[in-house]
Each structure stands twice: as C-alpha cells, then as structure tokens.
Copies of this chain bind each other. A is one copy, B any other.
Amino acid sequence: MALFIGVDIGGTKVLATAVSSTGRVVRTAVRSTPGRRVESRLVEDALTEAVQEVAGIRRPAAIGIAAAGFVDAQGERVRFAPHLPWQDEGVRARLAERWSAPVVLDNDANCAARAELTYGAVSGAQDALVITLGTGIGGAVVLDGAVHRGYNGMAGEFGHMQVVPGGRDCECGGTGCWEQYCSGNALVRFVRDQGVSDLSGPQVTEAALAGDETALAAFASVGEWLGVGAANLVAAFDPEIVVIGGGLSAAGDLLLEPARDAMRDSLVGAAHRTVPPVVRAALGPEAGAIGAADLARQRFRTVGTRARARRRAARGTGQRR
C-alpha cells in the first residue's frame, strides 16, 4: 500500500498525518510552528521532521501540504500567510526537491473542505459551503463535487466580507469584517465585554456546554451572526448544504440552532426554496491534514492508471475515433 502523508501547518503547530485510502488517520506527528519572524528554513525544518516521523522507514508516494495562508491558483506558491514566514515563496517545488517526493499544496480551509467532501459531511453533495470557525473564519466553496479555488486560488475568504459598515477594525485593514463578529475571537470578546476576562475560545465553549449563562449568550450572538452571514452566501451560491467546522463547531447546536434561525429569517425567498441544512463538520481538527493527504492521493495515484491507458493505446484498443 502506497503511503500518502498530509501536513497541516498553522500559526501554532505543524500536524503531519499518514492517511489511509478510507480517510483514516493511521499515524500522526506534531511540531510547534517556529513563528512568523524566522527564516523560512526553520519552518521547513519543522515540516521535514514531522513528515519523517510519520513516514518512519517508508518512502511516501506523495505529500500534501495544507497551509494557513493564500496559496496561488497553480498550487505552487504561498502568496501571503499572516502567521508564517512564507511571503510569496515557491514552497511546493522547494519541499519536493528537499524531500525527493511529489508534493502538492493548497490552502488549509480548502483541504478541510476536500476532506469533508471525500470522507465527511459534504459527501454526496455537489454544491456546498464549508465555513470553518476558529480564531477567525476560514472557508471553502464546493461546486460540482470539487473545491472551487477561484482565479487567484483565493475563493472562500468569507471572513473578510463586510457585515457592518464602519464596524470593528479588522487585522486585514478593513472594518466590520464578518470574522470580527463570528469567530473564536468574537466569542472571547463577547465574554470579556460581560466582565469575564482571560477565557480562551475553547474555555468559553466548555463553559457553554456546562450551561454557563454568559458563555451561552456568547454562542447565541456568534451563532446569529453565523446565520446572517451564511444567508448572504446562500443567496449568492444557492448550495445544497452548509457545513460548519473548526473549534467552535464543538459547541454543536448551541452554535448551530441560533445560526439556523437567523439564516431562515434572513434568507431571501425562504418560502420558495429548499433552505439548506446547516450541519457540523464530521472530521474535527485533523480535517486539513486529511484533505491534504487526499489531494496528494488523488493527484498521484493516477500514475498507474495513466500507464495502463498508454499500454492499452499502444495495443490499438480503446481509442476514440
């Protein structure tokens, strides 16, 4: 069995996984991300260590990288990454050379959506929106059963759609961006504004699941904003299903029920259409790495098929006129 590895690199950690053909994670390795203001080589060293640990003595058939940043349409360069040292660098070719192995590269939210499409909550659907709520908002668009990457490879940047004119300042330089109202950061801010300080997003989630009133109110607010923003996206794309992933989705219906209510209230023509179900992602925090491995598998398992097709063609059968 060929070995396909997926690596998710975010602002805090590197997660490498060996993934089976059914999407099961059979082995993992974790490293800390060395930071943003370091040489790119240090980040690539961490990636290399994690990949080596997962591979052991085996030689990977291909490796997929899910990067927290803008990846170009060709899957060659990381154009910009707020939490990584890569700034417009040809990461794919450099790592392929270093590792002497085929490497594929995509944005982390796209990889997570690919994993949900192949093995998870999007499975069987043709058109879907995948909204990933972590510190900020990641997103991906599934169209005709594939992740739609867009002209620059930047489709699905939902977090920076403006929902409040002149609203809260955003790190992107804009104001009133959706992720300022609907994200882990928004959750933490809500609780802090109620006088409860020093809670992380996961702690707020835990408190909400334990029934804490303030934490529940925070999820009601974030959930409502999720529904309003999702309604905007549904008006534009008209998908079959909306999938919510990321850390906040651990709160389940505490997040999703207010989102469903707000989406139904806000969605144009709700009485004349099938309103898409809003469901929780199936794969959890390993989705990005699983999707990266799947991308590697889909791209490089076809080599055998192509070779067979060539042999068949050489025998003069199966050709079209």
Chain A 224-264 near chain B by CB (<8 Å), digits 1 or 0: 00001001110111111000000000000000000000000
Check if B232 sits within 8 Å of A162, measured CB to CB. Answer: yes
State how many angstroms separate the Cβ of A235 from the closest Cβ of chain B. 4
Please state the number of chain copies in the assembly. Answer: 2
Chain B residues near A266: list those with CB within 8 A. Answer: 162, 174
Chain B residues near A189: list those with CB within 8 A. Answer: none
Check if B154 sits within 8 Å of A127, measured CB to CB. Answer: no
Check if B150 sits within 8 Å of A272, measured CB to CB. Answer: no
Among A32-40, A288-296, A313-321, the stretch that binds chain B is: A313-321
State how many angstroms separate the Cβ of A140 from the closest Cβ of chain B. 10
Residue A124 at the B interface, CB < 8 A? Answer: no
**A272 touches which of B70, B268, B269 (Cβ 8 Å):** B70
Give CA–CA (A287, B307) in the complex, Å.
47
Contact residues of A between 130 and 151, Cβ < 8 Å to B: 139, 141, 143-144, 148-151
State how many angstroms separate the Cβ of A38 from the closest Cβ of chain B. 20
Check if B158 sits within 8 Å of A70, measured CB to CB. Answer: no
State how many angstroms separate the Cβ of A195 from the closest Cβ of chain B. 24
Check if B273 sits within 8 Å of A79, measured CB to CB. Answer: yes
Check if A157 sits within 8 Å of B268, measured CB to CB. Answer: yes
Residue A153 at the B interface, CB < 8 A? Answer: yes
Check if A151 sits within 8 Å of B236, measured CB to CB. Answer: no
Contact residues of A between 152 and 166, Cβ < 8 Å to B: 152-165
Give CA–CA (A126, B153) in the complex, Å.
14
Give CA–CA (A80, B172) in the complex, Å.
40
Check if B321 sits within 8 Å of A152, measured CB to CB. Answer: no
Number of residues on chain A facing chain B (CB within 8 A): 53
State how many angstroms separate the Cβ of A232 from the closest Cβ of chain B. 4
Check if A165 sits within 8 Å of B163, measured CB to CB. Answer: yes
Residue A302 at the B interface, CB < 8 A? Answer: no
Chain A 161-196 near chain B by CB (<8 Å), digits 1 or 0: 111110000001010010000000000000000000
Q: Across the interface, name the chain B residue whose C-beta is closest to A268.
A: B160
Residue A276 at the B interface, CB < 8 A? Answer: yes
Chain B residues near A235: list those with CB within 8 A. Answer: 154, 157-158, 160-161
Check if B269 sits within 8 Å of A154, measured CB to CB. Answer: yes
Check if A164 sits within 8 Å of B162, measured CB to CB. Answer: no
Can you list 16 A-B contacts with CB-CB less than 8 angstroms, sorted by A residue number? A80-B269, A127-B150, A127-B151, A141-B236, A144-B144, A149-B238, A150-B237, A150-B239, A153-B238, A154-B268, A155-B237, A158-B235, A160-B268, A174-B266, A177-B268, A236-B236
